Structures are given as C-alpha cells and as structure tokens.
Amino acid sequence: MSTKATRRPGRALDTAKRAAILEGARAVFMREGFAQGTMDGVANSDSIHLYRAIVAEAGRMPGLGHLFWEAGPRPLRAAIAQLLAEERDTATAQIVAQQIVNLTLGDAYQELVLGTGSPGPEVFERQIDAALALLGLAT
C-alpha cells in the first residue's frame, strides 16, 4: 500500500497527513458552525435571527457587516485554508476554503435563514461529506 495520496500538481501529501487535514476541516465545521457557534447553535433560532438582523442592517451599517465577517466567516475560511495550505499554494487554498464553506452551507442553511425548513445536523454532515467529495478532498 502506498503512503502517498493520489498525485496532483504540487507537493505529494502523505495519506495519514491528508486524513488528518480532512478530519481537522471537519472538526472546524463541527466546532465553529457556519454562522457562529456549534452545529446545534446554527439550528438554534436565536443564531438565525441574529444573522438575519445583521444582513438586514448591513446596508445601513457597513461596520456591522464587517464586524460579523471578521468574527465568524473570515476566521472559519482562514482556518480551513491553513489546513489546506500544505497541499496547495496559499491563493488556491483560500479559494478551496471558500468553496468548501459555500458548498457545505447549501440549501439547508438557506432553509434555516429563509424559514422554509429546519434541517438537522445530519443534513449538514451530509452536505459537508458531499462538498469534500466534489472537491476531491474526501478520504
């Protein structure tokens, strides 16, 4: 059995290290959530109401949108990009991190924000798995 991941442009990555990076990314999603807090926190209605209020006021109060971005979405993407940086150049790692977040939010998050559904953590877990597979990051 080979100890190297499938060859792609850039440095080869040890299979164990690749698995650790992917598990770390999963842990970041599960620990930090998508807006803020844990996965349970994302499904908590207070978190969704806060997000809606921030979006509604961001046009009138750009500083509020900036504070939210700097406190939640940006650090989440940066942490994922850091996990990916050993395998990709920094710019590509940042783009892939953005794609992972956007793909994993998917329709389930939109349902929460728009009030059209209340998907549970298992739905987000499936979206995370599908996003990683689509981007060729699944183990």
Provide DSSP, 85-128: TTTS-HHHHHHHHHHHHHHHHHHHHHHHHHTS----HHHHHHHH
Flag whether pLDDT at 91 surpasses 90: yes
| Closest among 135, 127, 132, 121 to 107, alpha carbons compared | 127
pLDDT by residue (tens digit) across 13-69?
566 655 665 666 666 666 665 444 343 433 476 778 888 999 999 999 989 999 999
Is 112:48 a contact under the CB 8 Å cutoff?
A: yes
Which range (2-6, 77-81, 90-94) has the least confidence? 2-6
| Cα–Cα distance for residue pair 69/65, rounded to 1 Å | 6
Residue 2's DSSP bridge partners are none
Top-confidence residue, 21 or 118: 118
pTM confidence score: 0.63
